């Protein structure tokens, strides 16, 4: 009957009791139905109430329960255990690279600080029309694959460049949003936004290794958006050279 027992290794850390994090082993009978990792966590919490994790909507919309499941970042609530099971073993760890507050809960301050840096709001100081600023359907289509981000941090915390420079490299999540506003025809601060991104760290620490794409639970492609930002930065430079006759 050993086959029907799930073995779960969980990263545990309680700053009030533990000096160092440790891995705790749990065994649980394999549920008859294919449940999500979040449901599994609920079952574990019945065994051990001290387990901590974030969760809210339990349907992949709020982005609270991002965690490292068997080595891959993802949302626990939309990851069926059948999709990640290897020899009935599951390893649950907090998102890599961010300070652990307790168990699977990480401190997202650095992540949000990077998001704040890209000014994630529409900047347009022309007088607003009576109803709304209109876009052509073609221009609106440019935002598909960009606006759907739920800021779960699965991508940024899977990125080695973000692990190295969480304060200087914006990370895939923030850069996807940066491109979301660069691509928006209603936003008029494109050049200012590009100026802010032109330092060696903000964008250029990305080397296109695709960790962000492979971990995004919403199937978005920050890597492609970053590539487009890089191209825009080059174009921006060119315009400056031709219009002023000097190179900045």
Partner 1 sequence: MTFVTFLMTHKRPININLFKIQLPLSALLSITHRISGILIFFIVLPVTAIALSFMYESQQSYDNFVNFYSTNSFIKLIFISLVLIFQYHIFTGIRHLLIDFHLLAENLSSSFRSAVITLLLFLFNAIATIRIML
The answer to the question of residue 26 lying near partner 1 (CB under 8 A) is no
Can you list the pairs that 121-127 forms with residues at least 24 positions away whose Cβ atoms lie under 8 Å? Answer: 121/181, 122/181, 122/184, 122/186, 122/187, 123/181, 123/187, 123/188, 123/189, 123/192, 124/186, 124/187, 124/188, 124/189, 125/188, 126/188
Cα 85-91-96 angle, rounded to 5 deg = 125
Q: What's the residue count for the chain?
A: 248
For residues 53 and 80, the answer to whether their CB atoms sit within 8 Å is no
| Interface with partner 1 (CB under 8 A), residue from 100, 108, 150, 152 | 100
* Residue 21 in contact with partner 1, rule: CB under 8 A: yes
Q: 124, 199, 208, 239: which one contacts partner 1 (CB under 8 A)?
A: 208
User: What's the closest the beta carbon of residue 196 comes to partner 1, in angstroms?
Assistant: 21
Site membership for partner 1, residue 230 (CB under 8 A): yes
Does 217 bind partner 1 (CB under 8 A)? Our answer is no
Which of 11, 112, 147, 201 touches partner 1 (CB under 8 A)? 11
Contacts of 47 by beta carbon, 8 Å cutoff, 6+ apart = 26, 28
CB 132 → partner 1: shortest distance, Å?
32
Q: Which long-range contacts (CB under 8 A, 24 or more apart) does 233-237 make?
A: 233/194, 233/197, 233/198, 233/203, 236/191, 236/194, 236/198
- Supply 15's token pair: 């700053």
Q: Which is nearer to partner 1, 191 or 231 (CB)?
A: 231
User: Could you say whether residue 120 binds partner 1 (CB under 8 A)?
Assistant: no
Residue from 210, 218, 236, 240 binding partner 1 (CB under 8 A): 210
Site of tokens 């019945």? 46
Across-strand partners of 67?
74
Q: How far is the CB of 207 from partner 1 (least distance, A)?
A: 5
| Residue 129 CB partners (closer than 8 Å, separation 6+) | none
CB atoms within 10 A of CB 92: 24
Site for partner 1 contains 85 (CB under 8 A): no
65-84 positions binding partner 1, by CB under 8 A: 68, 70-72
Please give the size of the binding site for partner 1, defined by CB under 8 A. Answer: 38
Q: How far apart are CB 244 and partner 1 at their closest, in Å?
A: 27
Interacting positions 37-66 with partner 1 (CB under 8 A): none
Residues 173-202 that bind partner 1 (CB under 8 A): none
**For binding to partner 1 (CB under 8 A), which residues are involved?**
11, 13, 15-16, 20-21, 68, 70-72, 91, 93-101, 106-107, 158, 160, 163, 207-211, 213-214, 221, 223-224, 227, 230-231
């Amino acid at each position: 009957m050993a086959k029907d027992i799930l073995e779960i290794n969980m990263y545990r850390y309680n700053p009030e009791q533990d000096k160092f994090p440790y891995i705790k082993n749990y065994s649980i009978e394999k549920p008859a139905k294919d449940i999500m990792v979040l449901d599994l966590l609920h079952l574990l919490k019945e065994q051990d109430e001290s387990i901590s994790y974030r969760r809210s909507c339990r349907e992949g919309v709020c982005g609270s329960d991002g965690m490292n499941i068997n080595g891959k970042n993802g949302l626990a609530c939309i990851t069926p255990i059948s999709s990640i099971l290897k020899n009935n073993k599951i390893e649950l760890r907090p998102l890599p690279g961010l300070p652990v507050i307790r168990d699977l809960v990480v401190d997202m301050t650095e992540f949000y600080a990077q998001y704040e840096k890209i000014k994630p709001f529409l900047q347009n100081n022309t007088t607003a029309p009576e109803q709304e600023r209109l876009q052509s359907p073609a221009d609106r289509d440019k935002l598909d694959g960009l606006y759907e981000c739920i800021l779960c941090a699965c991508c940024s915390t899977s990125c080695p460049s973000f692990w190295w420079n969480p304060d200087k490299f914006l990370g895939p999540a923030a850069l996807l949003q940066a491109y979301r506003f660069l691509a928006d025809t209603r936003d008029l601060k494109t050049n200012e936004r590009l100026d802010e991104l032109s330092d060696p760290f903000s964008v250029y620490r990305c080397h296109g290794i695709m960790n962000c794409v492979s971990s995004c639970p919403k199937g978005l492609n920050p890597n492609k958006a970053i590539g487009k930002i890089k191209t825009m930065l080059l174009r921006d430079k060119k315009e400056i050279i031709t219009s002023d006759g000097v190179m900045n």
